[in-house]
């Protein structure tokens, strides 16, 4: 592979960032989209986020096996093409259902960049060097959830919400060109593969996971944790703009809580070495429960008066401990 290591790290970080960018940049525009698309309620506009997650869920099942068969670059071409199609549909549609369809396709396409970028890193590096490269990539990736809402808010200052989908379109085409011109095919480079070993199909792989109690337990726990986090992402615009009336400061408020997750991801590397994964996860979940209990019992959640700053403290602390759970549960 002739691409320089620094360029490789930035490119992989960009590919991994498609997911966060697709979700977070649109959040400041949800209230405007609700009006323009004649959406009946604030809760229905949340499908702009939910549809992406459904696409991500399905896309991960598709692009992992696909990239093994047709190669990493071809898999990325297909995935980014699907993302481009979804962006175009959302950009030019005046129907709420068609915009949701476009968002779903964006999720399917973004899944390819997430799954295949990790596979590419594993193709090229192994052992401690792979862990080192991934840490650099994640250091870049951490700032995307903080910056993405600011980008969306900045676009809204000068234009309308459809321009955010133009931004998605331009980003995807630029990354597609970057992959085409600079990234070499990496499938087959890994020494971990054994062509003579029997390979399981998708169904067999799911069965093997379901039969492993530890893996299944952590998967279920991760689902509950991520489900709560997804509920926050769906409701963030309503919480900050409708309930707290922060207006254009939404992206700043959202970025603060998102930044705490990034800080936790960095701190986690030190705590896991000292405490281990199980203790770290147990202490983090205990802290989340205690923080929520204190917040609910000490403050009146029915009114926004005097609640904003306590809520920001609560959200930042809670998502800080969420940052410990995501990576460790996956591990």
- DSSP string of 52-97? HHHHHHHHHHHHHHHHHHH-HHHHHHHHHHHHHHHHHHHHH--SHH
pLDDT tier, 192 (very low <50, low <70, confident <90, very high otherwise)? low
Residues 192 and 314 in one domain: no
- Percent of the chain predicted with pLDDT > 70: 93
- Predicted local distance difference test score (pLDDT) of residue 131: 67
Q: What confidence score (pLDDT) does residue 329 get?
A: 79
Same-domain status, 229 and 87: no
Residue 196 has pLDDT above 70, yes or no: no
- Cβ contacts of 180 within 8 Å, gap of 6 or more: 73, 77
Per-residue pLDDT, 293: 96
- What CATH number did the domain enclosing 176 receive? 1.20.1250.20
Average pLDDT, the chain: 88
Question: Could you say which of 181, 199, 217 is where a domain stops?
Answer: 199
Residues 231 and 169 in one domain: no
Q: How far is CA 50 from the centre of its chain?
A: 12
Q: What is the pLDDT of residue 149?
A: 92
Instruction: Read off the pLDDT of each residue in 103-127 and give the average, rounded to a whole number.
Output: 92
Residues 182 and 221 in one domain: no
Asked which of 184, 199, 214 is the last residue of a domain, the reply is 199
pLDDT at 268 over 50: yes
Question: HSE of 9 in the Cβ direction (CA atoms, 13 Å)?
Answer: 15
Domain-terminating residue out of 199, 230, 257: 199
Q: Do residues 241 and 143 share a domain?
A: no
Shared-domain flag, residues 43 and 121: yes
Q: For residues 34 and 58, state if they share a domain.
A: yes
In this predicted structure, what is the pLDDT of residue 191? 52
Query: What pLDDT does residue 49 have?
Result: 94
Please tell me the total count of domains within the chain: 2
Confidence class of residue 133 from pLDDT cuts 50, 70 and 90? confident
Judged against a pLDDT cut of 70, whether residue 197 lies above it is answered with no
What count of other Cβ atoms lies within 10 Å of the Cβ of residue 74? 15
Q: Which residues are CB-contacts of 98 (< 8 A; sequence separation ≥ 6)?
A: 89, 90
Say what the pLDDT of residue 193 is: 47
What is the arithmetic mean of pLDDT over 169-191? 88
Same domain, 222 and 195: no
Per the listing, tokens 């869920």 go with 57
Confidence of residue 24 (pLDDT cuts 50, 70, 90): very high
Sequence-ordered list of residues with C-beta below 8 angstroms from that of 22, at least 6 positions apart, any chain: 52, 83, 106, 107, 110, 168
**Buried/exposed 274-313: b ≥16 CB within 10 Å, e otherwise:** eeebeebbeebbeebeebeeebeeeeeeeeeeebeeebee
Examine the domain organization and report whether 82 and 122 are in the same domain: yes
pLDDT digits (tens, 9 = 90+) for 77-114: 999 999 999 999 999 999 999 999 999 999 999 999 99
Same domain assignment for residues 278 and 182: no
Domain that residue 57 falls in: 1-199
Predicted local confidence at residue 171, as pLDDT: 95
pTM of the predicted model as reported, rounded to 2 decimal places: 0.84
Q: Which residue has the higher pLDDT, 324 or 290?
A: 290
Residue in this structure with the two tokens 């369809």, named with its chain if needed: 101
Model confidence at 228: pLDDT above 90:
no
Residues 169 and 218 in one domain: no
Residue 302 and residue 209 share a domain = yes
Average pLDDT over residues 192-216: 69
Q: What is the percent of the chain where pLDDT is above 90? A: 51
């Amino acid at each position: 592979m002739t691409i320089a290591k620094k360029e490789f790290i930035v490119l992989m970080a960009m590919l991994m960032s498609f997911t966060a960018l697709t979700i977070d940049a649109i959040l400041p525009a949800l209230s405007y989209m609700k009006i323009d698309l004649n959406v009946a309620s604030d809760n229905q506009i949340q499908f702009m986020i939910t549809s992406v997650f459904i696409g991500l869920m399905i896309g991960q099942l598709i692009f992992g096996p696909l990239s093994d068969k047709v190669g990493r670059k071809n898999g990325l071409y297909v995935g980014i093409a699907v993302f481009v199609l979804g962006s175009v549909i959302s950009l030019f549609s005046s129907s709420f259902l068609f915009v949701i369809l476009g968002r779903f396709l964006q999720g399917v396409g973004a899944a390819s960049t997430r799954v295949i970028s990790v596979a590419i890193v594993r193709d090229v590096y192994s052992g401690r060097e792979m862990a080192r490269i991934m840490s650099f990539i994640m250091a870049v990736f951490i700032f995307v959830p903080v910056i993405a809402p600011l980008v969306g808010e900045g676009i809204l200052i000068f234009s309308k919400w459809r321009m955010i989908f133009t931004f998605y379109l331009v980003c995807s085409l630029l990354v597609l060109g970057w992959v085409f011109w600079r990234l070499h095919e990496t499938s087959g480079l890994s020494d971990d593969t054994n062509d003579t070993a029997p390979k399981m199909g998708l169904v067999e792989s799911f069965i093997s996971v379901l039969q492993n109690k530890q893996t299944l337990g952590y998967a279920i726990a991760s689902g509950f944790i991520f489900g709560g986090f997804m509920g926050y992402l769906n409701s963030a615009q309503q919480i900050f703009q409708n309930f707290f009336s922060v207006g254009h400061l939404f992206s700043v408020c959202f970025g603060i809580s998102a930044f705490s997750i990034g800080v936790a991801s960095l701190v986690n590397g030190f705590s896991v070495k000292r405490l281990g994964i199980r203790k770290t996860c147990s202490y983090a979940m205990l802290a989340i429960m205690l923080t929520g209990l204190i917040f609910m019992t000490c403050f009146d959640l029915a009114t926004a008066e005097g609640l904003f700053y306590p809520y920001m403290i609560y959200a930042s602390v809670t998502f800080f401990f969420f940052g410990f759970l995501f990576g460790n549960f996956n591990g």
